[in-house]
Amino acid sequence: MKYITKYKSPNYNLRNNSKIQLIIIHYTALKDTLDAISYLCNKEKKVSSHYLISQNGTIYNLVKDKFRAWHAGQAFWQEIIDINSVSIGIELDYNPRGKNNKFSLKMIYSLKKLIFKLQKNYKINKNNVLAHSDIAPFRKKDPGKHFPWQSLSSSRLVMSFKKLKKNEVKIMEKWFNNNNLISKKQKIILALSLIGYDTREVHKNVKLYNKLIRAYKIRYLNREDITNSKSIYNTLIKHLFNFLLTKN
């Protein structure tokens, strides 16, 4: 793949031999690609990403993969709190309130090619291609509700959920019951935790719980199901079952 490499961000440091495990997708929420380059390459901003993809599909490599770019901020996934050390950050030239408020076909085509290459190079699991809102659900929404996750799923870059058989649903329910989980909320929290989400404070904080649920719904539920409380539970059961089968 060809990248534009003439722009370099000074905002990085060493990974300290941490293995690259995650790909994190962001949007810039800025005016355009040049504005994003200026921001991500500004030493005073102390923010960067490894890659930036423009509306026309051009890929800018701002920080080399071997370095730790500063894109995730305060985040959490599968008990890891230093997400920057184990991840590749990809920014998309998209602003939900700007003229660049579409995920163009060229942009998504380039994104899929880049993800495929990164997965191959670093043996990154499909479960570990994540939204910024997955790793920071209490403060981030990007890449947002219009991001075409289904396109990535169709290209087999992220996990798609196999429909569960009745006996498989019973296995999951029995497992929950054996762990003394009675309410749906308890089951939902455990499922989210096992998948990787930060559930450390949601048991006692309704506001954080609702933010976490919203982040999950935007990522995994379609628009018809997003207000249906039963749909999130059913989706999570499928997600957890498929996750456990494809964990390694």
DSSP-assigned letter for residue 4: B
8 Å CB contact between 66 and 6:
no
- Helix axis angle, 184-195 relative to 206-220, nearest 10°? 60
Beta bridge partners of 87: 22
**Two tokens, residue 218:** 């935007």
- Look-up of token digits 């054996």: 178
Residue whose pair of structure tokens reads 């029995």 in the numeric block: 174
Nearest to 15 by CA among 89, 74, 79: 89
Q: What six digits make up the tokens of 73?
A: 């901020």
CA distance 134 to 32: 25
What's the burial of 114, exposed, middle or buried (CB within 10 Å: 0-12/13-18/19+)?
buried
Residues with a known catalytic role = 91
Q: Which amino acid is at 240?
A: L
pLDDT of residue 225: 53
Statement: 12-154 belongs to CATH 3.40.50.300: no
Buried b (16+ CB within 10 A) or exposed e, 24-40: bbbbbbbebbeebbebb
> Residue 248's pLDDT is what?
59
The pLDDT profile of the chain, 248 residues, written as one tens digit per residue, is 899 999 999 999 999 889 999 999 999 999 999 999 999 999 999 999 999 999 999 999 999 999 999 999 999 999 999 999 999 999 999 999 999 999 999 999 999 999 999 999 999 999 999 999 999 999 999 999 999 999 999 999 998 888 888 888 888 888 888 878 888 899 899 999 999 999 999 999 999 999 999 999 999 986 545 555 567 888 898 899 888 887 65
Cis, bond preceding 148 (omega within 30 deg of 0): no
Give residue limits of the domains in the chain: 12-154, 166-245
| Exposure string for 163-190, b = 16+ CB within 10 A, e = fewer | ebeeeeeeebeeebeeeebeeeeebbbb
CB 71 within 8 A of CB 89: yes
Residue 87 CA to residue 76 CA, distance in Å, equals 12
Say which amino acid occupies 180: N
